[in-house]
Amino acid sequence: MLTGCSNEQPTLPEATRTTDGEVGAVSTAADGVQEITLETGDDYVFTPDAFTVAPGQVRLTVRNVGDQLTHNFLFTADAGPEEITEQIPYLAPGQSETIEFTVTVPGDHRFECSFHTALGQVGTMTVSG
């Protein structure tokens, strides 16, 4: 599947969107930066738990839609083709945080909520070649 700049206009009118970023889809913002929004909640899952970006700048938002659980978001140390140190250390229920970073090396980056890795709250960001 092709992603990125070749995408046509979204099919939903803007007024019906709940947020400025569609959960789970990598899109390109007006400033040219690729964007992705993940959701997590009271279920120890990131949605999506796998997505692919192109080399370049990435703006990643994590939204905690849960009522009870606090999560975080970080790329697992020494598990990817290059280091990404940007992280969201603390994301309380109802909060949304955005980080930006740049990737250059193709490969898979594991990410996790370090509070809940034992419960399987992990995922994979692939940087395409």
- Of 3 and 98, which CB lies nearer to Cu ion in the complex structure? 98
Short-list 100, 98, 113, 109, CA closest to 41? 113
Task: Calculate the dihedral angle through the C-alpha atoms of 29, 31, 35, 41, rounding to the nearest 10 degrees.
Answer: -80
Listed ranges 19-27, 63-71, 79-87, 88-96: which one lies at the site for Cu ion (CB under 5 A): 63-71
What is the nearest approach in angstroms of Cu ion to the Cβ of residue 89? 12
Helices (H) and strands (E) in the chain, counts: 0, 10
Tell whether residue 113 is a contact of Cu ion (CB under 5 A): yes
Listed ranges 23-31, 48-56, 90-98, 117-125: which one lies at the site for Cu ion (CB under 5 A): 117-125
Tell whether residue 121 is a contact of Cu ion (CB under 5 A): yes
Provide CB contacts within 8 A for 92, sequence distance 6+: 64, 70
- Of 55 and 93, which CB lies nearer to Cu ion in the complex structure? 93
What whole-number distance in Å separates Cα of residue 13 and Cα of residue 72?
32
Tell whether residue 59 is a contact of Cu ion (CB under 5 A): no
Residues of this chain that interact with Cu ion (CB under 5 A) are 71, 113, 115-116, 121
